[in-house]
Amino acid sequence: MGKAWTFGENMNTDEIIPGRYNITIDPLELAKNVFCEVKPEYATNVKPGDIIVGGQNFGCGSSREHAPIAIKGSQAKCIIAPSFARIFFRNAINIGLPILECPEAVADITEGDDIDVDLATGEIFNRTNGHQYQARALPDFVLKIAEAGGIVNFLKTHDIQELMS
């Protein structure tokens, strides 16, 4: 279970982590400044397992990987949004940050709601208001990458073909 942190539409990677902090690729360092322009209280108050609830086209703009790395470094469990910008979508999966597309959940969840997410089934349960939402289940290969903690870690011990088997 985690607390929901809500964000607006077209959240671009500059707003997730401004360019001036991209001098490091250390997840914990980046996490200290994640969302600092749009929600400065996030970095200090986020708890492991909290959930990011974003608007449509989440992660648009520059292809910088620092953005999903910063969110992962903050120990958020996953991001739920109606849609993600394409390169952010890939980058998040490859660094092992699960992302779920679910417009119904985004429309209904308010900041601070207690949320349960089953990544394997895509079921999202809002403990605060008792509503249930269904995101598209994550493909097996995405779960494999997430379990390994990212594609780089996956490849240390597996062949890439094992992603699809």
Residue ranges in contact with another protein by CB under 8 A: 10, 25, 56-57, 60-61, 63, 65, 83, 85-87, 89-91, 94-95, 139, 141, 150-152, 155-156, 160-161, 163-164
Name which of 46 and 71 has its Cβ closer to another protein.
Answer: 71
Are the C-beta atoms of residues 47 and 55 closer than 8 Å to each other?
no
Select 53 or 138, whichever has its Cβ closest to another protein.
138
CB of 52 to another protein, least distance (A): 19
Shortest CB 145 distance to another protein, Å: 9
Q: How far is CA 87 from CA 91, 92, 99, in A?
A: 6, 8, 13
- Residue with smaller CB distance to another protein, 17 or 115: 17
Nearer to another protein, 47 or 156 (CB): 156
Q: How far is the CB of 56 from another protein (least distance, A)?
A: 7
Q: What is the DSSP string of 98-162?
A: -EEE-HHHHHH--TT-EEEEETTTTEEEETTT--EEEPPPPPHHHHHHHHHTSHHHHHHHS-GGG
What is the token pair recorded at 40? 């400065």
